[in-house]
Amino acid sequence: MNLRKFLAIMLVSSVVAAGYWGMRDDADSGPLETGPAVSSHSSLLSGSAALLPLPPVPALPAEKVALGKRLFFDTRLSRDNTIACASCHQLESGGSDRLLVSVGIDGRQGSINAPTVFNSSLNFVQFWDGRAASLEEQAAGPVHNTLEMDSNWAEVIAKLSRDEAYNRAFGQLYKQGMSGETIVDAIATFERSLLTPNAPVDRFLEGDQTALNPLERDGYQRFLDYGCASCHQGAGIGGNMFQRFGVMDDYLRERANRQSDLGRFNVTGLDQDKNVFKVPSLRNVAVTPPYFHDGSAKTLDEAVIVMGRYQLGRELSEDDVKALTAFLRALTGEWEGKRLQ
């Protein structure tokens, strides 16, 4: 065993024993990000372990949510009036587009897999590389990205201001009226309403011991015992730390140095941030294929096997994969009263 693998094994072991692991990318990145305590052997599988139930939808101004929802589906945010936020974050498809990479105006392909918009308010930063500190900052990105909407606020506002319903709504809700700042504020407010409650795991964490069947409970136990919860933890079951893709082995070794594979390095320029990404939330993961920043895992089974091998240094058995994927499917919640599919 080489030194890197030995150290990685020791690190994972210490994470499970100590109760949590936060990771930051450099000395100037602020306070260490940590999640809730991780139980190393939670035989009770109670809410005191690594995972927390989804919080309730926060109290939000209904008029602002409605305005943000309309903007979320409005293609006029794009230069050629063809792409909306909902084009890549389809609420009927788990909040993503289920494509390897998303398609913007003029058929332009992006460079990275679109994450789900559901429960994104629980993330400590936005985008795979964490370059946006808030939902507002994230909402502005696609408007200006040449591969996505390829527009700017002057063009967007010129189009939207011809719509009297928009003028009235912005005038009533914001003293400054319509602007880039108020547009993204409304969109982010709507996105904060996009929580997906009532997953079987949430009901279990809230005390319903019948909410998980024996296979799902077995998968949850393995999820804790194998150290998955050292990174996928808290109410988001992820989304609250950075981590290297390939702790135990280099998953990206055979690739050319694509910019999208560099992850956090594209933000900080620090060598230690190469191949480091925001740990994704696992909520609704069963309905948001393909997986990873590059969409390289087409199925949930494949993604679980890769995670075991490259993040935990463990070759998962068929029983492991069956149990773990059963547990992951139990993380699927509801939107507007219907379970996501």
Does CATH number 3.20.20.150 belong to domain 62-192?
no
Q: What is the pLDDT of residue 252?
A: 86
Whether residue 188 contacts residue 133, with contact meaning beta carbons closer than 8 Å, is answered with no
Burial class (CB in 10 A: 0-12, 13-18, 19+), 124: middle
Please state, in angstroms and rounded to a whole number, the distance separating the CA atoms of residues 282 and 330: 10
Please state, in angstroms and rounded to a whole number, the distance separating the CA atoms of residues 308 and 266: 26
Looking at per-residue confidence, does 43 or 132 come out higher?
Answer: 132
Please give the model's pTM, rounded to 2 decimal places: 0.86
| Annotated domain spans of the chain | 3-54+197-339, 62-192
Q: CA neighbours within 13 Å on the CB side: how many for 151? A: 27
- Helix (H) / strand (E) element for 277: namely strand 276-278
Q: Which two tokens stand for residue 211?
A: 């909410």
Whether residue 198 contacts residue 333, with contact meaning beta carbons closer than 8 Å, is answered with yes
Please state, in angstroms and rounded to a whole number, the distance separating the CA atoms of residues 133 and 67: 23
Whether residue 283 contacts residue 199, with contact meaning beta carbons closer than 8 Å, is answered with yes
Reported as a single tens digit per residue, the pLDDT across 41-86 is 334 554 447 899 999 999 999 999 999 999 999 999 999 999 999 9
Q: What is the pLDDT of residue 253?
A: 80
Q: What is the pLDDT of residue 256?
A: 62
Point out the residues that are catalytic: 148
For 3-54+197-339, give the CATH class: mainly alpha
